[in-house]
Chain A
Amino acid sequence: MSLKLFSRGAAAVAFAAALAVAGSASAHRQWMLPSMTVLSGTDPWVSVDAAVSNDLFVFEHQPMRLENLTITGPDGAPVEAQNKFTGKYRSVFDIQLTKPGTYRVANVSGGMMVSYKVGGEQKRWRGAPADAAANIPAGATEVRKTMSDRRVEFFVTSGAPTTDALKPVGKGLELVAVTHPNDVLAGEKATFGLLLDGKPAAGVEVTVEPGGTRYNDERGEIKTTTDKDGKFSVTWPRAGYYWLEATVKGAADAEGVERTSGYVATFEVLKD
């Protein structure tokens, strides 16, 4: 997907970004980077950078739009982000962890993308599926529709890790914890599962990449594939922040609409 996509105005950026990672192996990465993920004390705060970039975790391309931010508290109830700000290269927000336990912080985006040709010229349209018919010219050829969804998230814990906020939503591609995501240590193996619409997603390639791209010659990507139960494991080579990504491309449905589901999570790996 070409970079020009992003120059078409801010409104299109969030959605374009959602498709960008799904559409190409060399695409930009979406991520949220919390100040920390393991906290103690009374009602501690966590502050978050959110961006779309090539390098991890450098904000150098586009801010992540915060319209679709959903924060789930340890009791399953929604939590409001505070001090939201969107700048040139990154968005920022804060969360106060007023209840002990684990919070799930997710940015879930999606919609329909239609590519088609009119008079030999390649065109693209993005939006809600219901608006597609009205926006695709009658004479369009080579019409290809894709429904896309992407969850970008991280987990943060005040006190002891809990699991209520980790319950699967049952929609799109998402992570299920075998190892708690805020209990990950350098040199130790962590095991997770992937679910697609609530069902185990087998045979899905998962990429794990450490932060610090800018200060290393190699990206240090770790690739693995989910087993028949949708499970996979990763052994973190060292402490630091990691980015995890997986994409599932589905076959076209009865109406010829293809499906792409993406998942991204940030992990903070600590030393023992």
Chain B
Amino acid sequence: MRIALPAALLTALAASPALAADLTVGIEIPRMTVAEYHRPYVSIWIETPDETAVKTLAVWYDTKNSKGEGATWLKDMRQWWRRTGRGLDKAAINGFSGPTKAPGKQQLVVPAARLADLAPGSYTLVVEAAREVGGREVVKIPFSWTGKGGKGGSAAGGSELGPVTLTIK
């Protein structure tokens, strides 16, 4: 899909270091054989080793709730909510939100431009899933970031999340 970018963002893109890497998160949402299934709420963010949230990359929730009440359950992703979500206004949350995803392999590509303000260092990618009438799980992947690239990794959940991968290139 082609998206028209505002001029300011284009300038920012042009100004980003040459060959800066994108960050790609692969998340498998397990298929469940349960009587009542709802797609999980998923939040994906970057935190420092002392668990301070630096940047939320995406939140997948019921953005299309017919009563507009989808945000009521954002707090069920309780770690994301406590570490950063509760302190963000609607506009900020809308900026990285999208609808819930179906079971199977999902992918989030974070373009290099969105990482321009991420200082070089050690970080953890955190993926938290919370499912209505289901469970909750957090999967973490430590990674390093040079400012232009870094080394990703992988981890796997055991209940609400399947394999999670972080690729930086």
Does B74 contact A40, Cβ atoms closer than 8 Å? yes
What is the predominant secondary structure among interface residues of chain B facing chain A? helix
Closest to A45 in B: B72
Interfacial residues of chain A within 28-63, with CB under 8 A of chain B in the complex: 38-42, 44
Is A183 close to B, CB under 8 A?
yes
Does A40 contact B79, Cβ atoms closer than 8 Å? no
Interfacial residues of chain A within 46-87, with CB under 8 A of chain B in the complex: none
Is B68 close to A, CB under 8 A?
yes
Residues of A within 8 A of B69 (CB): 41-42
Does A183 contact B82, Cβ atoms closer than 8 Å? yes
Interfacial residues of chain B within 50-78, with CB under 8 A of chain A in the complex: 68-75, 78
**What is the minimal beta-carbon distance from B12 to any residue of chain A, in angstroms?**
28
Does A159 contact B86, Cβ atoms closer than 8 Å? yes
Is B81 close to A, CB under 8 A?
yes
What is the predominant secondary structure among interface residues of chain A facing chain B? loop
**What is the minimal beta-carbon distance from B23 to any residue of chain A, in angstroms?**
25
Is A270 close to B, CB under 8 A?
yes
How far does the alpha carbon of A169 sit from the alpha carbon of B87 in the complex, in Å? 27
Is B85 close to A, CB under 8 A?
yes
Closest to B84 in A: A160
Name the interface size band of chain B: 10 to 19
Q: Pick the residue among A41, A157, A161 that contacts B74 (CB under 8 A).
A: A41
**Known pairs A40-B73, A41-B71, A42-B71; A270 contacts B78 (CB<8 A):** yes
How far does the alpha carbon of A41 sit from the alpha carbon of B69 in the complex, in Å? 7
Q: Pick the residue among B68, B70, B78, B87 that contacts A38 (CB under 8 A).
A: B78
**Known pairs A159-B86, A160-B86, A160-B87; A41 contacts B73 (CB<8 A):** yes
Does A38 contact B75, Cβ atoms closer than 8 Å? yes
Is A272 close to B, CB under 8 A?
yes
Does B74 contact A38, Cβ atoms closer than 8 Å? no
Is A271 close to B, CB under 8 A?
yes
Closest to B79 in A: A272
How far does the alpha carbon of A159 sit from the alpha carbon of B85 in the complex, in Å? 8
Does B81 contact A40, Cβ atoms closer than 8 Å? yes
**What is the minimal beta-carbon distance from A239 to any residue of chain B, in angstroms?**
10
Closest to A270 in B: B78
Q: Identify the A interface with B (CB < 8 A).
A: 38-42, 44, 157, 159-161, 183, 270-272
9 contacts between A and B (CB under 8 A): A38-B86, A40-B73, A41-B70, A41-B73, A42-B68, A42-B72, A157-B86, A161-B86, A272-B79
Contacts A38-B75, A41-B73 known; 17 new A-B pairs at CB < 8 A: A38-B81, A39-B75, A40-B71, A40-B72, A40-B73, A40-B74, A40-B85, A41-B72, A42-B69, A42-B71, A44-B72, A159-B86, A160-B86, A160-B87, A183-B82, A270-B82, A272-B79
